[in-house]
């Protein structure tokens, strides 16, 4: 009887721990997001893209990027609302262009090593996946995001 009761207490404790760690995604966000978001603003992420030179918006390239985005990304991302992953409007203001391209081209390593990407996985839980996008296509998607965000 005594054992049973102790067992029950342990169970409750564990359950509470699980709940709190389950809620950890939210909690982490509260405590760490602000700090991380700041550091990530200068972060280019991990992957094949180390430097992107941005100039005036290339509408032709943005058009190509829109086509690729609709083909390969819209199953999980909308521009204006959270879907499987975050809404992407404003992403060029939140992240460096290099970071955006690395997230598209190298998501599994990003989710393992990049603090911002790890944070996002904690929130959305479905890992972003590589969709067989070439570097050129990723650059085009970036141009499309810039257009959406009002770049000239």
Partner 1 sequence: MKRYLWFPIVVAMVAGAIFHGCKNSGTTSAMASDDAAKTVYVPPGKHDEFYLFTSGGFNGQVGVYGLPSGRLFRVIPVFSVDAEKGYGFTEETKPLLQTSFGFIPWDDAHHPELSMSDGKPDGRWLFINANNTPRIGRIDLRTFRTAEIIEIPNSGGNHSSPFCTENTEYVVAGTRFSVPPGGQDVPISSYKEHFKGMLTFVRVEPTSGHMSLAFQIQAPPFDWDLSHSGKGPSHDWSFFSCYNSEQAYSLLEVNASQKDKDFILAVNWKKAEDYAKQGKGKRVKATYYNNRYDEATHTATSTVNNEVLVLDPKECPGMMYLMPCPKSPHGVDVDPTGEYIVGGGKLATVIPVYSFSKMQKAIADRAFAGEIDGIPIIKYEACLAGEVQKPGLGPLHTEFDGKGYAYTSMFVSSEIVKWKLGTWEVVDRVPTYYSIGHLCIPGGDSKQPWGKYVVALNKITKDRYLPTGPELTQSAQLYSIEGDKMKLLLDFPTVGEPHYAQACAAELLAKNSVRIFKLDENKHPYAVKAEKDARVERKGNEVHVYMTMIRSHFTPDNIEGVKVGDVVYFHVTNLEQDWDIPHGFAVQGAQNAEMLIMPGETQTLKWVPTRPGVYPFYCTDFCSALHQEMQGYVRVSAPGASVPISFGTGR
- Chain contacts with partner 1 (rule: CB under 8 A): 70-72, 74-76, 83-84, 108, 125-127, 129-132
- Minimum CB separation from partner 1 for residue 69, in Å? 10
H or E element at residue 80:
none
- Min CB(57)–partner 1 separation in Å: 25
CA R_g for the chain: 20
For partner 1, the closer of residues 97 and 107 by Cβ is 107
CB of 124 to partner 1, least distance (A): 9
Least separation in angstroms between residue 41's CB and partner 1 is 28
Name which of 93 and 108 has its Cβ closer to partner 1. 108
In the complex with partner 1, which residue's Cβ is closer, 15 or 130?
A: 130
SS3 129: coil
Least distance CB 84 / partner 1 (angstroms): 7
**Residue with Cβ nearer partner 1 (122 or 151):** 122
Cα→Cα distances 103→19, 42, 114, 142, Å: 30, 15, 9, 11
Shorter beta-carbon distance to partner 1: residue 11 or 130? 130
Q: Which long-range contacts (CB under 8 A, 24 or more apart) does 105-110 make?
A: 105/47, 105/48, 105/49, 105/130, 105/133, 105/135, 105/138, 106/45, 106/46, 106/47, 106/48, 106/130, 109/46, 109/47, 110/45, 110/46, 110/47
């Amino acid at each position: 009887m005594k054992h049973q009761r102790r067992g029950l207490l342990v169970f409750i404790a564990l359950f509470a721990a699980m709940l709190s760690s389950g809620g950890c995604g939210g909690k982490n966000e509260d405590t760490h997001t602000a700090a991380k978001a700041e550091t990530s603003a200068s972060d280019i992420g991990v992957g094949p893209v180390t430097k992107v030179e941005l100039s005036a918006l290339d509408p032709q390239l943005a058009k190509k990027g829109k086509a690729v985005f609709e083909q390969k990304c819209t199953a999980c991302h909308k521009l204006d609302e959270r879907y499987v992953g975050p809404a992407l409007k404003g992403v060029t203001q939140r992240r460096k262009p290099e970071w955006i391209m690395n997230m598209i081209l190298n998501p599994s390593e990003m989710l393992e090593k990049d603090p911002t990407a790890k944070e996002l996985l904690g929130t959305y839980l479905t890992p972003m996946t590589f969709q067989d996008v070439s570097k050129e296509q990723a650059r085009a998607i970036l141009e499309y995001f810039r257009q959406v965000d009002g770049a000239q």
